[in-house]
Amino acid sequence: MMADMGQLIVLRHGETEWSAAGRHTGRTDIPLTAHGEAAAAALAPALARLQIAATFCSPARRAVRTAELAGLTDIKLDPDLWEWDYGGYEGRTTAEIRAQRPGWYLWRDGVIPGDAEHPGETIAQVGARTDAVLARARPLLADGDVALVAHAHVLRVLTARWLQLDPDGGRLFRLDTGTFSTLGTEHGYPVITSWNVPPA
């Protein structure tokens, strides 16, 4: 059981050209589109009402810019919040991958190795990274909410781990760009308190 505490504020970065096209964007550092910037800024009023004790952010500029436009301050870059390293599938759409690998499903089949900058990761490795993020964030929840600004797949895995599911439980939680979600507790047990909420 968990004692009463703040919530995890889960923010997926705003739209990029690659996210709009459905291209797997792991370690490639793509900027926000104008629409993505507007959506990130639209998150600011909701965040301003919260007591945020700490903010952890992926080092990717799409995440950092989202955090800044959403009005978050004292942003701590956390390499464990980088997106899943898609290896040889970096920049490719699911349809393109399935043309060569029929029936491919990321959550079950994983990725293939890529180049030196995109070696690829297993889902277990992503889960270990999110466990490390949660271990750092949990003690801070005694002082208020903790914001986590990152990417779809890594945040979905993190949510599964918060709920004490295996990392592949992240497949259950669709997460759109520029959205706001919250993870908290009920009667001392971890729950989702809101999910995939678009800007007001």
Q: Which residues are catalytic?
A: 13, 83
Q: CB of 124 within 8 A of CB of 167? A: yes
- C-alpha dist (Å) from residue 110 to 28, 56, 91, 154, 163: 18, 26, 15, 14, 22
Q: The tokens of 143 are what? A: 């002082």
Side chain identity at 43, as an amino acid letter?
L
Task: Provide the H-helix boundaries in the chain.
Answer: 17-21, 34-42, 44-48, 61-69, 94-100, 106-109, 123-137, 152-162
Q: The tokens of 33 are what? A: 């589109």
Closest CA to 140 of 74, 41, 46, 66: 74
Side chain identity at 147, as an amino acid letter?
A
Return the residue matching tokens 């499903």: 105
- For the four alpha carbons of 165, 186, 192 and 56, in that order, the dihedral sign comes to negative
Within 8 A by CB and 6+ apart from 3, the residues are: 142, 188
